[in-house]
Amino acid sequence: MGGERQHYYGKHGTPQKYDPTFKGPIYHRGCTDVICCVFLLLAIVGYVAVGIIAWTHGDPRKVIYPTDSRGEFCGQKGTKNANKSYLFYFNIVKCASPLVLLEFQCPTPQICVEKCPNRYLTYLKAHGTQEFEYYKQFCVPGFKQNKAVTEVLRDGDCPAVLIPSKPLVQRCFPAIHAHKGVLMVGNETSYEDGHGFRKNITDLVEGAKKANGILEARHLAMRIFEDYTVSWYWIIIGLVIAMVLSLLFIILLRFLAGIMVWVMIVMVILVLGYGIFHCYMEYSRLRGEAGSDISLVDLGFQTDLRVYLHLRQTWMAFMIILSILEVIIILLLIFLRKRILIAIALIKEASRAVGYVMCSMLYPLVTFLLLCLCIAYWASTAIFLSTSNEAVYKIFSDTDCQAVGKTCNPENFSSSSEFHLCPGAHCQFAFYGGESTYHRALLGLQIFNAFMFFWLANFVLALGQVTLAGAFASYYWALKKPDDLPAFPLFSAFGRALRWGPRYHTGSLAFGSLLLAIVQIIRVMLEYLDQRLKAAENKFAKFLMTCLKCCFWCLEKFIKFLNRNAYIMIAIYGTNFCTSARNAFFLLMRNIIRVAVLDKVTDFLFLLGKLLIVGSVGILAFFFFTHRIRIVQDTAPPLNYYWVPILTVIVGSYLIAHGFFSVYGMCVDTLFLCFCEDLERNDGSQERPYFMSPELRDILLKGSAEEGKRAEVEE
């Protein structure tokens, strides 16, 4: 038996030995992982340089305003197009060309106009009449009536025909509507093309679809933005409610940990049970209603989620999902009931630790502000990089010509050889791009921008974890609690992180966050490749991509787990990242049973707490924004998509609850790691007393497995 123990410990490192001088986090430290610290500083300098270059060349107006054929913005203040907010297409039918999908630009002249046309009118009919003044506002700027009709239409100076249109996302699209199943524009089912021929409205529909197809995402974004502008106040109120509930829950957990955990478990079961009941009632109510039996597959994707709520299949799917969750949670509670009692004891001890370090509850705000700074810098740099291209002009023509698609200069195109080679061709704005070294490097700069965001965000999280771990480790290794605690444990730990961090351990934190950032950027690239390969029919490629995504997902989870425990060891011992990670990993492996059935049970309980808060706030938001609360029925704002504020409140509530519970989670992980090491260092005798509290010792050392472990440590 002794040989087996020796082999076990040899395989997973050597247990810590008793050290009478060890009293918790040490104060005499040395520099660790200096090379990674230097790399981080150089990367930050490069990141700042990329931001400066992007801000110098970028122009966010390219995203906000539509652009005419000359690359000028429509509706921008301070320009000649300030009063011309809408983009008008000379021939919307040409937008049905495949070129639209390749270069996101319709091969027809486009100009900025004050308002969209509201009548049928052809150039042939308007020429030489009083209506020509109205028609001329839809011709190219500076147009003079000194050409023949055929020359004007050939050179693209004016559109051949005006069609009643309506503005959509600052673009003029034909005002197509259906009357008794017949497509019409105005009161007509056909239109003159300006060349003496009549065409069917369906030609306009196809062109409008292609032109509108490249704008649907932007249109959806604009409608979502409109919803935010009218509901942001209520979203903030919902997030404040989530914050108050989280804080109240944490405070009650401090004084009533055992009761609150069981209340939380019961409430989660009841909330899920109510959800199942509500889904069943809606499913029964829709029986026999017209259109309620349409399948989700036949309906397809709809931006208005209210459509799905009128389908019985939707409520059946919700009911099945909630039922599965309910059964899983109940089964876990049955099989883990004994371990839940032990986890509650660990949470009680964590509550006492948090009670002595109450400032730790405010530290997530520091992490939140630093993360907001990282997100703001990344987002602004990404926008400026994406808009730092130059206007590229290309030759467009209806005829088959060798010069089509080549770059051109609109200033001298009429006198160029390409113009004489391709009569009727136009030199117009195609897209934003460039041929310089900088423009060719834009994709690489965007990847570097994303990579640095992951690195800095993970570094901020690592700094928070080290700070909290240092504070809670000081609590655990205080023999007489709270007498032996520092005056301000959190500020002492934060001071150590700031004083020792940049001076000693920035490299270690940078090393751990670098490993995580590399895996995360690879996962982003895999997602991008997966989207590109979706249309491929190669099953092996799809299988390989799925395997790679799964492997890197598992690798990211493992690195996060390893980093978290390595940071705890860094906070206690001040060793480098690799040494800390190895010692933490071996310590956990020597206590693998406790890790599997105890530490993860507390994570499960905290997850239930977060789900309870998110579920409560989410249900309240759903009833409010769908006008189902009679008291405030008229207060809720009208929305395009009511799911926009609801999802925002749900996601925000989860992040807020996760921020508060992350303090408890870090406290539990730190206490658990210290507890495992305490068992190895000490035996509970007067000469080698345990540092754990009597309450924690009584429940964690119950059972034969724990007693056997104590015997191994004593030997």
**Residue 98 counted as domain residue:** yes
End-of-domain residue from the set 539, 570, 601: 570
> pLDDT value at position 429?
64
**Residue 455 counted as domain residue:** yes
**Residue 312 counted as domain residue:** no
End-of-domain residue from the set 535, 570, 605: 570
Cα 23 to Cα 4: distance, rounded to the nearest angstrom:
32
**Residue 163 counted as domain residue:** yes
Read off the pLDDT band of 600 (50, 70, 90).
confident
Read off the pLDDT band of 581 (50, 70, 90).
very high
Structural domain tally of the chain?
2
> pLDDT value at position 276?
92
Q: How many CA atoms lie within 13 A of 408 on its CB side?
A: 27
End-of-domain residue from the set 162, 191, 214: 214
Predicted structure pTM score: 0.72
Can you tell me which residue has the tokens 């404040």? Answer: 240
Tens digit of pLDDT for each residue in 144-167? 777 788 878 777 788 888 888 888
| Selection from 77-86, 213-222, 314-323 with the highest mean pLDDT | 314-323
Cα 636 to Cα 675: distance, rounded to the nearest angstrom:
51
- Report which of 360, 344, 341 is spatially closest to residue 475, judged by C-alpha positions: 360
> pLDDT value at position 303?
54
CB-based contact 395:403 (threshold 8 Å):
yes
> pLDDT value at position 1?
43
**Residue 519 counted as domain residue:** yes
**Residue 665 counted as domain residue:** no
At residue 476, does pLDDT exceed 60? Answer: yes
At residue 235, does pLDDT exceed 60? Answer: yes
At residue 540, does pLDDT exceed 90? Answer: no
CA distances from 288 to 283, 299, 313, 315, 519 (A): 10, 18, 13, 15, 51
Tens digit of pLDDT for each residue in 423-473? 767 777 666 666 677 777 888 898 999 999 999 999 999 988 988 888 888
Average pLDDT over residues 15-19: 71
Average pLDDT over residues 54-78: 80
Cα 92 to Cα 100: distance, rounded to the nearest angstrom:
11
> pLDDT value at position 706?
46
Cα 91 to Cα 109: distance, rounded to the nearest angstrom:
8
> pLDDT value at position 196?
52
**Residue 51 counted as domain residue:** no
Mean per-residue pLDDT over the chain, rounded: 78
Cα 685 to Cα 688: distance, rounded to the nearest angstrom:
5
Residues 6+ apart with CB under 8 A from 391: 67, 71, 429, 432
Element (H, E) at 431: strand 426-433
> pLDDT value at position 565?
92
At residue 502, does pLDDT exceed 70? Answer: no
At residue 110, does pLDDT exceed 50? Answer: yes
666 vs 210, higher pLDDT: 666
The parent domain of residue 142 ranges over 86-214
Tens digit of pLDDT for each residue in 613-669? 998 899 899 888 888 877 877 787 888 788 889 998 999 899 888 888 888 888 888
**Residue 409 counted as domain residue:** no
